[in-house]
Amino acid sequence: MAETLLFNALREAIDEEMARDPHVCVMGEDVGQYGGSYKVTKDLYEKYGELRVLDTPIAENAFTGMAVGAAMTGLRPIVEGMNMGFLLLAFNQISNNMGMLRYTSGGNFTIPTVVRGPGGVGRQLGAEHSQRLEAYFHAVPGIKIVAVSTPTNAKGLMKAAIRDNNPVLFFEHVLLYNLSEDIPAGDYICALDQADVVREGKDVTILTYSRMRHHCLKAVEQLTKDGVDVELIDLISLKPFDMETITRSIRKTHKVLIVEECMKTGGIGAELMALVTEHCFDDLDVRPVRLSSQDIPTPYNGTLENLTIIQPHQIVDAAKQLHAGTI
């Protein structure tokens, strides 16, 4: 066990997988000589050379499409979105080609790719750099979507994503790179499709992911003091949802609170709420509740930005009301 920062956990995963399989390569803006904007590929350029850690021009659509073609012909590329928001410029390649091509080709080709990078609302980065693309990409068939939240799951999930033969959209969070914890030594894998039961409890199920996991943990401290026993689930897999774990929890607590950082309309929570209603309607004592970001571009001003995303006290209030049946 060794204390590891989240960005280093990702780096270790990529390094180990590149050493394990020479077909694994990285491409993106400033991933090579610069080592990545968040240092996730630091020193890998020196270790593996300029083709395996390829500094690309700023041309998101073209280098993402290039990764598709490389994957179709035998490589296993990891594409870095310097900021996941930039990949709006690669939406066509991710949707039409990464996601749909295996199907439209009748199984002729597989696209083993990982598209990774920082998403989420940072600290006053402005609207364009504060996006939650997981919701935008959610409807695309043929891609898996995961969101990491701790150094431990960051490493295990990255290794799993690289080894997976399907395209994986891999969401990191801009404010979590410097999280630090002891992680298992050496080679370990986390399942891409399994939710993490962070805390077991009997009163209210909270479903969350990415940075909101940590907001929820803060709220849980208060809720525990106030006598509410929360079962906290980090979804990890945003597509597909781990409905088995989710259903099992709701059958126990009969109450569910969804906490997300993406916007409410068309968000991850919207889809999750629909599925919970479809799968667990008879197990619910009260209607499911969802706490989401405001449906607005993220404002630059710090106070307004904090008002845009969910804060721990709102989670406490909502969970208490759910528990008391007053919501």
Partner 1 sequence: MTQADMSQAKTSQADASADPTDVLAASGAPACSGDVSAVGLHAERLLNLYPSTPATVSREEGLLLYRDMTLGRRFEDKCAEMYYRGKMFGFVHLYNGQEAVSTGVIKAMKMQHDWFCSTYRDHVHALSCGVPAREVMSELFGKETGCSKGRGGSMHLFSKEHHLLGGYAFIGEGIPVALGAAFTSRYKRDALGDASSDAVTAAFFGDGTCNIGQFYECLNMAALWKLPILFVVENNKWAIGMDHNRATSDPEIWRKAAAFGMHGEEVDGMDVLAVRGAAQRAIERARAGEGPTVLECLTYRFRGHSLADPDELRAEAEKEFWAQRDPIKRLGAHLIEHSLATAEELKAIEKEIDAEVADCVEFALAAPEPKPEELTRYIWAED
Tell me which residues are annotated as active site.
Answer: 60, 129
Region binding partner 1 by CB under 8 A among candidate stretches 50-58, 118-126, 187-195, 197-205: 50-58
**Between residue 242 and residue 261, which ones bind partner 1 under the rule CB under 8 A?**
none
Residue pair 134/268 in contact (Cβ under 8 Å)? The answer is yes
CA 256, CA 89: separation in Å to the nearest integer?
Answer: 36
Q: Give the DSSP letter string of 121-169.
A: --SS--STTS--HHHHHTT-TT-EEEE--SHHHHHHHHHHHHH-SS-EE
Task: Give the pair of three-digit tokens for residue 286.
Answer: 């009260």
Q: Is 110 in the site for partner 1 (CB under 8 A)?
A: yes
79 vs 125, which CB is nearer to partner 1?
79
Residue count, binding to partner 1 (CB under 8 A): 44
Binding mask 119-148 for partner 1 (x = CB under 8 A): ----------------------xx------
Q: What x-and-dash track marks residues 83-102 binding partner 1 by CB under 8 A?
A: ---------xx--xx---xx
Q: What angle do CA 199, 202, 204 make, to 5 degrees?
A: 80
Q: Examine residue 62 and tell whether it contacts partner 1 (CB under 8 A).
A: yes
Give the angle 117-123-125 at the CA atoms, nearest 5°.
70
- Given the rule CB under 8 A, which of 46-54, 182-190, 224-232, 273-281 is the region that contacts partner 1? 46-54
Residue from 57, 186, 227, 325 binding partner 1 (CB under 8 A): 57
Separation CA 288–CA 318 (nearest Å): 11
Q: Among residues 266, 316, 274, which one has the least CA distance to residue 292? A: 266
**Closer Cβ to partner 1, 93 or 298, answer by number:** 93
Sign of the C-alpha dihedral, residues 39, 41, 44, 45?
Answer: negative
| Cα 148 to Cα 130, 290, 308, 320, distances in angstroms | 17, 21, 22, 27
Asked if 161 interacts with partner 1 (CB under 8 A), we say no
Q: Is 25 in the site for partner 1 (CB under 8 A)?
A: yes
Q: Are 201 and 170 in contact (CB under 8 A)?
A: no
Distance CA 255, CA 284 (A): 6
* Integer-rounded Cα radius of gyration of the chain: 20
**186 near partner 1 (CB under 8 A):** no
Applying CB under 8 A, among 1, 2, 108, 227 the residue interacting with partner 1 is: 108
Q: Are strands 114-119 and 53-55 parallel, antiparallel or unpaired?
A: unpaired
| Binding residue (CB under 8 A) for partner 1 from 73, 265, 303, 326 | 73
Decide if residue 169 touches partner 1 (CB under 8 A): no
Which position among 33, 165, 224, 301 is part of the footprint of partner 1 (CB under 8 A)? 165
Q: Is residue 51 near partner 1 by the rule CB under 8 A?
A: yes
166 makes contact with partner 1 (CB under 8 A): yes
Among 19, 59, 139, 307, binds partner 1 (CB under 8 A): 59
Q: What does the block give as tokens for 195? A: 């939710």
Closest to partner 1 by CB, 76 vs 213, is: 76
| 68 is an interface residue for partner 1 by CB under 8 A | yes
**Contact residues for partner 1 (CB under 8 A)?**
22-23, 25, 49, 51-52, 56-57, 59, 61-75, 92-93, 96-97, 101-110, 112, 141-142, 164-166
